[in-house]
Amino acid sequence: MEVVFIDPEPPGPAGGGIRTYTRLALALCRDVGVPTRIYTHTPAAYPGENAFPIGRSPCLPRPLLGLAYRLGYAENVLWEQARWLERELSSADVPGRVYEFADFLGYAFFALRNPRLRPRCQVRVHTPAFLIAPAPAKTLDRFISKISAWRERDCLMRASCLTAPSAEFMREKLPWLQGWKHVPNPLPPDADTVPASPRRMARAEAAARFLYLGRVEPRKGVLPLVRAFARMAGERPFASLTLVGATGDEAYADAVKNAIGSQPRSIRDRIAWEPPCAPAERAALFGCHTALVVPSLWENSPYVYFEGMAAGLVCIGSATGEMKAVARATGAPSPRPGDEDAWAGALLAHCDGNDADLHMAQKAYLASRRAGAAAGLLAAWRASVLGERPIRERAASRSGA
């Protein structure tokens, strides 16, 4: 068996959850001796791996190509990249090779129409772009957006091997989609050292340092988090909140800045917003804080949550997606998404040391699930090679299996 990954993340060294997943999946393959290759817009993001750049193959004849570029350049580039991938994979195909596509942007569109490739093409549900992208104002842009959404939906429905890391997410956000199998993400290894934060050396309320790591945009729930922190910070004068991440929505970012600026100075000075952190710098960042907060309004299986657990931080996540399942298993706080009262209560509990042993429970959870998650992913790939159909989870749940 050989696994071929397609990374749809835009060019750049960092990337988001899809790239983090891919790196961990590549490491898993290395550990068990499964050969791999990866097609990506950023081969440099995978040093030491068998990485190839994604090319383009025009879908339209030249008289129409110029007009198509003028009407929707980026959308046409995506179609050309998806077509190039199908041709590249088909020309180099060998038996026993599995092709894993992310759902994001629908790069599997043409590969899933190739009868030779389709049985061995897996589509893994991360977070489809059509669930995130706002509705454009212009008519042409709305039309192009609908085409993009159709391409992604088509890939999800056409895939014979469809896997999802979070069953909760599928039921919450994609209830119309059937035929998927719950295959958890590979989990990050434990950090070499537990963060040497004052939280474990001094009184709890004197050292509660909350960290938010991610984009600042509406879906991530940063504004309710800031308001919840401000609500309890007056009672806990040594607690602090640090936001680390890029602006994902300008209007929303302005609202977050205004919410911070409107607080009394004694609270305002304890809320910081720092630029994005490179993956190599995350260990040091985690070591400066006592709790990671993930206040998303909805989420699939956010890797930052598991990275915080692996680093030994107390992780507080909204009751959504895979974070909800982890909270049930570990007893972690699980505030309702966007509920400022519930979030203020969870932050206050950390300040008071009521979750002092939670980081140990969360690390134990990772240890108990790590091998099973790896085995499940390997089994899903092997099933594709053997041509086995995935478990129809929704049908099984209806029958009581």
Domains parsed from the chain with CATH numbers: 2-159 (3.40.50.2000), 198-364 (3.40.50.2000)
**How much is the pLDDT for 66?**
82
In whole angstroms, what is the distance from residue 136 CA to residue 143 CA?
9
- Half-sphere exposure of 15 toward its Cβ, with a 13 Å CA cutoff? 24
CB 111 within 8 A of CB 86: yes
In whole angstroms, what is the distance from residue 368 CA to residue 376 CA?
14
3-class DSSP state of 277: coil
**How much is the pLDDT for 391?**
41
Positions of the chain with pLDDT under 70: 192-206, 387-401
Q: Which residue has the tokens 């041509």?
A: 387
In whole angstroms, what is the distance from residue 63 CA to residue 61 CA?
6
CB 282 within 8 A of CB 307: yes
**Rg (Cα) of the chain, in Å, rounded?**
22
**How much is the pLDDT for 387?**
65
Residue 59 parent element (H or E): none
What is the pTM (predicted TM-score) of this model? 0.86
**How much is the pLDDT for 199?**
40
**How much is the pLDDT for 279?**
77
**How much is the pLDDT for 393?**
38
**How much is the pLDDT for 135?**
77
Task: Order the strands of the 2-7 sheet from edge to edge.
Answer: 51-53, 36-40, 2-7, 97-102, 121-124, 161-164, 180-182
CB 230 within 8 A of CB 262: no
What's the mean pLDDT when you consider all of the chain? 88
In whole angstroms, what is the distance from residue 400 CA to residue 261 CA?
53
**How much is the pLDDT for 253?**
94
Q: Is 73 exposed, middle or buried (0-12, 13-18, 19+ CB in 10 A)?
A: exposed
Which are the contacts of 299, defined by CB distance < 8 A and separation ≥ 6? 169, 317, 318, 320, 321, 322, 323
In whole angstroms, what is the distance from residue 75 CA to residue 81 CA?
10
Q: Using one digit for the tens of pLDDT, what is the confidence trace for 300-327?
A: 999 999 999 999 999 999 999 999 989 9
Residue 34 is encoded by which pair of tokens?
């499964």
**How much is the pLDDT for 136?**
79
